[in-house]
Amino acid sequence: MSELNELYQQVILDHNKKPRNFRKLENANYTAEGFNPLCGDQLTIYVNVAGDAVQEIAFEGSGCAISKAAASMMTQAVKGKSKEQAEKLFHEFHSMVTGELDEETEENNLGNLKIFAGVRDFPVRVKCATLPWHTMHAALNQQDRVSTE
């Protein structure tokens, strides 16, 4: 069960139980919906960008512990960052869970997101961990402006 313990660490279980920034962001100016048709996981990412900075980010939806915790910790990690930094973090996170980046030896800014490294031993769960990141990426790039009126 050691790989399992690596996957379901206490921090991940805690974020699953009490997801942070789990709400609709009324003043969001970027939003996107992420959907994994294979398993039915679905989430919406709301971002409020001012200038170049991610002022606020939140999410709603339903999914497994991995996707929910990944979304929760992502919102904490990118809040206050520039769009460019957020995108860079997405790239690093993606590289880590697909086994392309060794988070211990190679330079990165992942910080406590390293806790998701264990996902790489569960290839079918990689999509769960990256779904919120892909969705944030889509939100930031599609510039699908939501009315703040």
Give contact residues for another protein (rule: CB under 8 A). Answer: 1, 3-4, 7-8, 13, 16-17, 38-42, 62-66, 68, 122, 124-125, 128
Between residues 81 and 122, which has the closer beta carbon with respect to another protein? Answer: 122
3-state helix, strand, coil in the chain (%, to 5): 50, 20, 30
Structure tokens, 79: 């809040």
63 burial (CB, 10 Å; 0-12 / 13-18 / 19+) is buried
Shortest spacing between CB 71 and another protein, in angstroms: 13
Q: C-beta of 40: minimal distance to another protein in Å?
A: 4
CB nearer to another protein: give 10 or 148.
Answer: 10
CB of 30 to another protein, least distance (A): 25
**CB distance 67 to 42 below 8 Å:** no
If the CB atoms of residues 12 and 28 are measured against another protein, the closer one turns out to be: 12
Taking the C-alpha atoms of residue 41 and residue 134, their distance in angstroms, rounded to an integer, is 13
Spatial strand order in the sheet of 30-36:
30-36, 41-50, 53-62
Do residues 63 and 35 touch, judged by C-beta distance below 8 A?
no
- Minimal distance, residue 52 CB to another protein, in Å: 35
Give whichever of 39 and 146 is closer to another protein, judged by the CB atom.
Answer: 39
**Structure tokens of 84?**
């460019």
**Toward another protein, which CB reaches closer, 29 or 67?**
67
Smallest separation, CB 135 to another protein (Å): 16
